[in-house]
Each structure stands twice: as C-alpha cells, then as structure tokens.
Structure 1
Amino acid sequence: MHYQQHLSVGELIGILRKQEKNLHFCVYGAQDSSTITLQTLCVIEAFPRITDNDEEIYPDFVVRQGLEFWFSDELLEDVVMSALHHKPSVTDPELLEAIGYYAEHDCFMSFD
C-alpha cells in the first residue's frame, strides 16, 4: 500500500482481512461514506495534520481532489478483526455492513 493509492473498498477489505497493512492511513472518497459499495473507489492517504488551534489540515492531494474523510485505518482494522473473531466465515458484503454499522452506531455489529 502507498499514499494516493486508488482501490476499491472490496480490495481494501481484502488487504485488511489478510492483515497486509504496511502504513498508517485514512480512507477518503468522493461521495458520502454511507453510500459505498464493495466496488466504490477510495483513496489511501495520510491523516490530517492537527494545528495548535485543533484545526484539521487535510493532505493537499485530498483537498485538490475534493475528497471526504471516510475512515481511519484503526477503525477499519478493529471492525474487520472483530467480525473475523466472531464469524471466521464472514463475507466481504457482511464486513462492509459491519463497517457501516460501526460508522453509524459507534459500536460493533453482532454476528450471533
């Protein structure tokens, strides 16, 4: 993985599922994160910089492309690893649902 990398949400889930992450990143996209699918393209880029006044300064690439912040790598890893722990056979569509659930409810989705 590298910054400014474009990939589908499904490809990103595959990387997280295999625990192949090699840098800290945020996921950005061109649309609202509540409407994403496994085929939706996203961009891997650095975290925003925080100023002394607690202002978030997004990477130049994100600003130039008009992208929105979607998720941090830590949140995605936590959701994917929790889902795999509770349901080792979890599918990519279920993982996407779990990510959306966490984004909306700030808690993990149950796989019971």
Structure 2
Amino acid sequence: MRIDLRKAYQLQEIIAIISKEISENGFTDEDYCLYSHEDMLTPEVVCYLETYPTISSDDKDVYPNFVVMESLELLYYGEQFEDVLMNVQSQIEEPTTDEYISALDYYSKHDVFMDFKSQGGRK
C-alpha cells in the first residue's frame, strides 16, 4: 500500500489509493485506523492513518502517541473501512468518491452496509 502513517491526506486520496488496492488485490492486511480532527466525512476532510489503539489492563483504549498529541478522533478501523469500500465495489461497477463516502457515513450511523439499490442509488 502506498500510504504513509502519520501523514495528512484528504479522505478522497485515501479512498482512491485503498479502493484501487482492494480492487486489484483484495484486502490489504495492513494494520491501520483512520483518524481525523473532523467527524463529518467529505472528500476534502484531512485524515491520517495510524496503528490501532491497544487495550490497557483495565480494558480502556490506549491510542498511539501521534493520535493523542494531534487530538485526533478515530473515524474507522482499517478492516471496517476496507469492508465498506469492498461492499461498494460489489454493488457499483465504478464507484465515485461521493458514493464511497455515502456508504462510509451510512455504515457509521447504522452499523450495516448501505444497499444502493434500496437507497435509490445506481448499480
């Protein structure tokens, strides 16, 4: 995968790189989460990839130092992010960035994949 940890990217860049990787090779098996200062998903929102939080002995999430120092919020675990992108690709032949973002937003609100057919989207 051609994305560096702890580097600022627009969400649309991350989607383009990872969706291309998924369509060519399947899941990336990379250990990352998507973090941002914003919780509103737009193509231009600045995001960072960083490792997963660990779990402390008292069952609390311990975020990587970079995430804490930059006051970032967890947007997506890498596996969930890739699951959503892969699901969109299974429904739409050439998804747009906006379709990916709609599906990501839908998943974060409903904890299920968006069905583009039932949502009036295209196939």
Q: How high is the TM-score relative to the length of structure 2?
A: 0.84
Matched residue, 2:33? 26
- Deviations 1:27-83 (Å, cap 9, x if unpaired)? 11112x2x1210111011111111121111111111111111110111111111111
Q: Does 2:102 correspond to 1:97?
A: yes
Which residues in structure 2 correspond to 1:66-105 (within 5 Å)? 66-105=71-110
Q: How high is the TM-score relative to the length of structure 1?
A: 0.91
CA distance in 2, matches of 1:75, 1:14: 16
CA distance in 1, matches of 2:42, 2:93: 21
Which of 56, 61, 64 in structure 2 is aligned with 1:51? Answer: 56
Q: Does 2:114 correspond to 1:109?
A: yes
CA distance in 2, matches of 1:7, 1:90: 20
Contact 1:2 1:23 in 2 (8 A): no
5+ long unaligned stretches in structure 2? 23-27, 118-123
Matched residue, 2:14? 12
CA distance in 2, matches of 1:80, 1:94: 10
* 2:13 aligned partner, one-letter code: E
* 1:88 aligned partner, one-letter code: E
5+ long unaligned stretches in structure 1? none
RMSD: 1.3
Count the aligned residue pairs: 110
